[in-house]
Amino acid sequence: MFLRDFLEAHDTFGFSIMDESYGYNLTKYNGYIMFDRRHHECIIEIYHEGDMFFITNE
């Protein structure tokens, strides 16, 4: 599933990252996601080319 599609399907959720790893063109997050008042184990793998930029809202 594309990240864009996941975010559109679950517009309100919380994601707690427990572990993250980085490799060649791959970023992987392991953690727990909460939606519909239930916790679920979640693994998000992002394949990318080049550098990855993190943008935060403060």
pLDDT for position 53 = 78
Q: Is the pLDDT at 58 greater than 70, yes or no? A: no
DSSP code at position 3: H
Report the C-alpha gap between 49 and 54 in whole angstroms: 14
Instruction: pLDDT band for 38, please (50, 70, 90 cuts).
Output: confident
Domains and CATH numbers, the chain: 3-47 (2.20.25)
Q: Taking the complete model, does pTM exceed 0.85, yes or no?
A: no
